[in-house]
């Protein structure tokens, strides 16, 4: 019901802005890929399909109301089960530089989720979520601070509030040889005592990218069981030519009674400014999770930005 209400509200707002001749811009990303046949129920397998089950297929509308206020609506799974996962208003006050206030349905910021690959990390299956809330984002030189408050479900937690704080710093000003070196940490508190802690870092230099992210959740409830869950992602990429990039990722997951380990190796080739060909091989050890097999499989696809 909450999402239906938000969708109706967004349609009313967008309609009113159209009538008022507000500047509206549409952007998006569509990925079409082929996933080799396995026994794992992960998106489209053994056939061509739109990559609507992952984060790289979406449509986004942004309406500029004035110099300080804009409205954004993002539609995902639009070829399968259309859902407005994000609908929010951004406000940038004139009296404070580099301050952004975001209100509405949005992704809870838990870390950075670096990736250079086509497939989403396992993290998205267990941690990624959207809630209605307010996030304040402030940047001072190379320091970024973020804090947010989200409403909980009244049925689940008596309407208690969730909150998140995050800080990150870019070390590039201290080392001239690097393009960027971000380090950061994040803390998210759920009203049902569950807490998430994330630490992350990404280094870019000499056509290379290296990143590490660790997310930990205490007291995660899985039916009658309660476990401490976590994901460790280690990624790397190298720009071989202006058009060709090689990338890899190692994931170590602890989820419920399972400990999946996933290695992904891929390549990205830019066919044009907004068109990319991607391919990758996935070498999983799912440890029995979801009755998935440990057979390796591959994906090839094309991603278009517009």
pLDDT in tens, 92-144: 999 899 999 999 999 998 888 888 898 888 887 778 888 899 999 999 999 99
Strand partners, 105: 87, 132
Residue 44 has pLDDT above 50, yes or no: no
- The predicted pLDDT at position 13 comes to 53
| Per-residue CA distances from 134 to 14, 75, 185, 260, 299 (Å) | 20, 20, 19, 34, 37
Q: Give 95-103 contacts, CB < 8 A, sequence gap 24+.
A: 96/138, 98/138, 98/139, 98/140, 99/136, 99/137, 99/138, 100/136, 100/137, 100/138, 101/134, 101/135, 101/136, 101/137, 102/134, 102/135, 102/136, 102/137, 103/133, 103/134
- The predicted pLDDT at position 77 comes to 66
Of the segments 45-59, 63-77, 149-163, which one has the largest average pLDDT value?
A: 63-77
Give the Cα separation of 273 and 267 in Å (integer).
17
Q: Over range 58-71, report the average pLDDT.
A: 88
Residue 38 has pLDDT above 70, yes or no: no
More confident residue, 23 or 100: 100
More confident residue, 54 or 60: 60
**In the chain, what are the domains?**
2-305 (2.40.160.10)
> How many residues are recorded in the chain?
306
Q: Over range 25-47, report the average pLDDT.
A: 68
Residue 53 has pLDDT above 60, yes or no: no
- The predicted pLDDT at position 29 comes to 82
pLDDT band at 45 (very low <50, low <70, confident <90, very high): very low
- The predicted pLDDT at position 156 comes to 53
Segment among 162-166, 233-237, 254-258 with least mean pLDDT: 254-258
Residue 153 has pLDDT above 60, yes or no: no
- The predicted pLDDT at position 265 comes to 98
Average model confidence (pLDDT) across the chain: 84
Neighbours of 222 (CB within 10 A): 12
- The predicted pLDDT at position 283 comes to 92
Give the Cα separation of 275 and 191 in Å (integer).
43
- The predicted pLDDT at position 65 comes to 87
Residue 55 has pLDDT above 60, yes or no: no
pLDDT band at 163 (very low <50, low <70, confident <90, very high): very high
> Do residues 265 and 245 make contact, with C-beta atoms less than 8 angstroms apart?
no
Residue 246 has pLDDT above 50, yes or no: yes
pLDDT in tens, 181-224: 999 999 999 876 689 999 999 999 999 999 999 999 988 888 88
Residue 49 has pLDDT above 60, yes or no: no
Residue that is written with structure tokens 């517009």 in the block: 306
Give the Cα separation of 160 and 75 in Å (integer).
28
pLDDT in tens, 256-295: 989 999 999 999 999 999 999 999 999 989 888 877 778 8
| Strand 225-239 to 244-254 pairing | antiparallel
Percent of the chain with pLDDT over 90: 46
What are the structure tokens assigned to 298, written together?
A: 């591959």
What are the structure tokens assigned to 89, written together?
A: 């208003």
| Per-residue CA distances from 126 to 5, 182, 193, 283 (Å) | 26, 25, 17, 20
- The predicted pLDDT at position 52 comes to 44
- The predicted pLDDT at position 159 comes to 67
What are the structure tokens assigned to 104, written together?
A: 């509405």
């Amino acid at each position: 019901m909450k999402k239906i209400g938000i969708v109706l509200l967004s349609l009313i707002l967008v309609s009113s802005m159209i009538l008022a001749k507000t500047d509206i811009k549409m952007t998006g990303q569509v990925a079409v890929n082929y996933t080799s046949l396995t026994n794992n129920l992960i998106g489209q397998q053994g056939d061509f399909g739109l990559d609507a089950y992952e984060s790289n297929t979406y449509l986004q509308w942004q309406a500029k109301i004035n110099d300080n206020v804009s409205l954004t609506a993002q539609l995902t799974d639009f070829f399968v089960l259309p859902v407005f996962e994000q609908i929010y208003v951004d406000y940038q006050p004139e009296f404070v530089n580099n301050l952004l206030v975001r209100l509405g349905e949005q992704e809870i910021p838990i870390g950075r989720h670096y990736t250079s690959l086509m497939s989403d990390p396992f993290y998205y299956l267990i941690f990624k979520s959207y809630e209605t809330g307010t996030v304040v984002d402030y940047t001072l030189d190379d320091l970024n601070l973020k804090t947010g408050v989200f409403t909980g479900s009244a049925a689940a937690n008596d309407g208690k509030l969730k909150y998140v704080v995050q800080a990150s710093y870019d070390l590039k000003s201290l080392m001239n040889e690097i393009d960027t070196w971000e380090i950061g940490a994040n803390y998210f508190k759920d009203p049902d005592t569950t807490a998430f802690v994330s630490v992350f870092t990404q280094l870019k230099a000499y056509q290379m990218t290296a990143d590490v992210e660790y997310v930990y959740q205490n007291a995660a409830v899985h039916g009658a069981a309660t476990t401490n869950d976590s994901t460790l992602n280690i990624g790397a990429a190298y720009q071989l030519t202006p058009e060709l990039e090689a990338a890899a990722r190692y994931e170590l997951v602890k989820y419920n009674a399972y400990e999946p380990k996933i290695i992904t190796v891929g390549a990205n080739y830019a066919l044009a400014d907004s068109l990319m060909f991607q391919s990758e091989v996935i070498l999983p050890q799912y440890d029995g999770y979801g009755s998935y097999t440990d057979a390796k499989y591959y994906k090839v696809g094309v991603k278009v930005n517009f």
